[in-house]
Amino acid sequence: MRRKLAAGNWKMNGTKASLAEVAALIAAHPSPKSEVLLCPPATLVAAMATAAAGKIAVGGQDCHMKASGAHTGDIAAEMLADCGASHVILGHSERRADHGESSDMVCAKAAAARAAGLVAVICVGETEAQRDAGETLALVGAQLAGSVPDGATAANTVIAYEPVWAIGTGRTPTLEQIAEVHDFLRAELVARFGTEGEGMRLLYGGSVKPSNATEIFATSNVDGALVGGASLKAADFGAILSAL
């Protein structure tokens, strides 16, 4: 049985004052039945981990593939762990697009995350042009195969299906389209990782909000959500959490 996961990605949003939202979320949901994860900007990981006091998990939004060294501006997985992070988002489409991250790079980062004891939340997803061209399954299949390292387990790997065209747009795939991709990803994971692939959580991401969370969470092979905009406010994220 896969435990549901509600993960929030604050992206490049938030200052110390935003930690009030974490306190409000914990106060409103003191014992959620699902796992809850918030991934703030790196500047807030340590403070959020302190504020969360183990009640919710905290993660980074990226890490470097190397353990240390001359990489100005980058952050190693071990540094995130040292700040209290337990997870790290890897291969988000904004990083793939803005920073030219290939699946090979994401795979190396996931291996670095594992070495540091972090759970990797690995993102895959097609652009609108790729969907229109009928390339969705081939594309996400290739991203999955290239981004998830050998030896990945259900304990150290979560996959997020995030159609690029649904991120921050208010548009979502139909439930049938979500089910088609999640069922496909599950089959690919089981074919490669066996029972570990059966246990890996598959999150849907892209314009999840309180009004659509219930039906998305009831969709085949959806084990939770990776939420961007609606994770910034405790009321919205809490409502999504309640739908799980």
Q: What 8-state DSSP symbol labels residue 46?
A: H
Q: Has 168 been labeled as part of a binding site? A: yes
Q: Has 229 been labeled as part of a binding site? A: yes
Nearer to ligand PEP among residue 118 and residue 225 (C-beta): 225
Q: Under the criterion CB under 6 A, does residue 32 sit at the interface with ligand PEP?
A: no
Minimum gap (Å) between residue 89 Cβ and ligand PEP: 8
162 is catalytic: yes
Cβ(173)–Cβ(205) below 8 Å: no
Among 59, 171, 178, residue whose Cα is nearest residue 125: 178
Q: What 8-state DSSP symbol labels residue 229?
A: G
How far apart are the C-alpha atoms of 101 and 121, rounded to whole Å? Answer: 15
Among 197, 206, 224, 238, binds ligand PEP (CB under 6 A): 206
Q: Under the criterion CB under 6 A, does residue 9 sit at the interface with ligand PEP?
A: yes
CA distances (Å), 63 to each of 9, 26, 112, in order? 15, 27, 8
3-class secondary-structure state, position 7: strand
CA 190 to chain centroid: 20
Using CB under 6 A, which of the segments 69-77, 105-113, 139-147, 162-170 binds ligand PEP? 162-170
Minimum gap (Å) between residue 226 Cβ and ligand PEP: 5
Which residue carries 């042009």 as its tokens? 129
Q: Under the criterion CB under 6 A, does residue 229 sit at the interface with ligand PEP?
A: yes
Please identify which of the residues 92, 101, 126, 188 carries the catalytic annotation.
92
Among 56, 167, 178, 234, binds ligand PEP (CB under 6 A): 167
Nearer to ligand PEP among residue 152 and residue 232 (C-beta): 232
Cβ(183)–Cβ(140) below 8 Å: no
Minimum gap (Å) between residue 98 Cβ and ligand PEP: 12
Minimum gap (Å) between residue 142 Cβ and ligand PEP: 20
How many residues touch ligand PEP (CB under 6 A)?
13
What would the two tokens of residue 166 be?
A: 């649904």
| CA geometry: angle 132, 137, 142, nearest 5 deg | 120
Q: Under the criterion CB under 6 A, does residue 140 sit at the interface with ligand PEP?
A: no
Q: Under the criterion CB under 6 A, does residue 143 sit at the interface with ligand PEP?
A: no
How far apart are the C-alpha atoms of 21 and 17, rounded to whole Å? Answer: 8
Specify burial of residue 189 (Cβ count, 10 A radius: 0-12, 13-18, 19+).
buried
Nearer to ligand PEP among residue 78 and residue 159 (C-beta): 159
92 is catalytic: yes
Binding residues for substrate: 9-11, 168, 207, 228-229
Active site amino acids: 92, 162
Binding positions for ligand PEP, rule: CB under 6 A: 9, 162, 167-168, 205-208, 226-230
Binding residues: 9-11, 168, 207, 228-229
